[in-house]
Amino acid sequence: GAVVSQHPSRVICKSGTSVKIECRSLDFQATTMFWYRQFPKQSLMLMATSNEGSKATYEQGVEKDKFLINHASLTLSTLTVTSAHPEDSSFYICSAARTGEQFFGPGTRLTVL
Amino acid sequence: GQQLNQSPQSMFIQEGEDVSMNCTSSSIFNTWLWYKQEPGEGPVLLIALYKAGELTSNGRLTAQFGITRKDSFLNISASIPSDVGIYFCAGVSGSRLTFGEGTQLTVNP
């Protein structure tokens, strides 16, 4: 149990467009999900904490108007990168919390041309 | 904010050798976690440590939670080619994970 999926696994988009990434907990309910960003050869950096039914909590330096998070159900959180630019190209990873432990998704590779 | 220093940054070893990596923190954590990440994948939990001084094994992996609660190490014994990947430590404070910078492990057959 405790499987987390992400969709899409890879996305390429043009600069200025918006991209939505989905994170689903497949076999458990998660009131809290987390979104991380990982640049090449770097560590995972927490972007925001997503709580079901309430506003996300963003880390310092992460623009909430640019990275829109919606956690509308106990099994789904979405991250929308609005008006994406090449510097937003990164590996975006979500995790879902169950009994205090975080279970990670497989990541989404975003490339902005 | 909290920072984790992980070393070494990379290791190149021969199959069969033992490996050791460690993390130190400027602040105390209540839980230490060790993850492995393979290219294009999310991190997978290897070992979780919940008490200062705790020594825990998972197959060929052994990890310890430092007495000061500010450090942890991970040992891999008798490495094999499939051990290749990036290993991350993570300190847990509340619901937040703070990750170390990672150790890239390469195992030559």
pLDDT by residue, tens only, chain B of 109 residues: 567 999 999 999 999 999 999 999 999 999 999 999 999 999 999 999 999 999 999 999 999 999 999 999 999 999 999 999 999 999 998 888 999 999 999 999 8
Query: Measured between CB atoms, does A8 come within 8 Å of chain B?
Result: no
Per-residue pLDDT at B1: 54
Residue scoring higher pLDDT (A107 or B3): A107
Q: How far apart are CA B36 and CA B15, in angstroms?
A: 18
Per-residue pLDDT at A45: 94
Pairing of strands A45-51, A57-58: antiparallel
Identify the three-state secondary structure at position A87. Answer: helix
Test the A interface: residue of B2, B7, B25, B41 with most A CBs within 10 Å: B41
Give residues with Cβ within 8 angstroms of B102, minimum separation 6: A42, A43, B6, B9, B37, B86, B87, B88
Nearest-Cα residue of chain A relative to residue B87: A43
Per-residue pLDDT at A53: 84
Instruction: Name residue B57's beta-bridge partners.
Output: B62
Nearest-Cα residue of chain A relative to residue B38: A106
Residue A34 with chain B: CB contacts under 8 Å: 97
Q: How far apart are CA B42 and CA B88, in angstroms?
A: 11
Nearest-Cα distance to chain B for A66, in Å, is 22
**In whole angstroms, how far apart are CA B32 and each of A39, A72, B90, B96?**
23, 31, 6, 12
User: Span A42-63, mean pLDDT?
Assistant: 93
What is the overall mean pLDDT for chain A? 94
User: Span A95-111, mean pLDDT?
Assistant: 93
Test the B interface: residue of A3, A43, A94, A109 with most B CBs within 10 Å: A43
- Facing residue for A43 by CB, picked from B88, B95, B96: B88
User: Span A98-109, mean pLDDT?
Assistant: 92
Q: Residue A33 class from Cβ within 10 Å (0-12 exposed, 13-18 middle, 19+ buried)?
A: buried
Place of tokens 């008006």: A83
Is the predicted pLDDT of residue A39 greater than 80, yes or no? Answer: yes
CB pairs under 8 A between A and B: 42
Per-residue pLDDT at A54: 87
Query: Measured between CB atoms, does A105 come within 8 Å of chain B?
Result: yes
Per-residue pLDDT at B2: 62
CB A13 within 8 A of CB A109: no
Cβ–Cβ gap A43/B99 under 8 Å: yes
Terminus-to-terminus CA distance in chain A, angstroms? 37
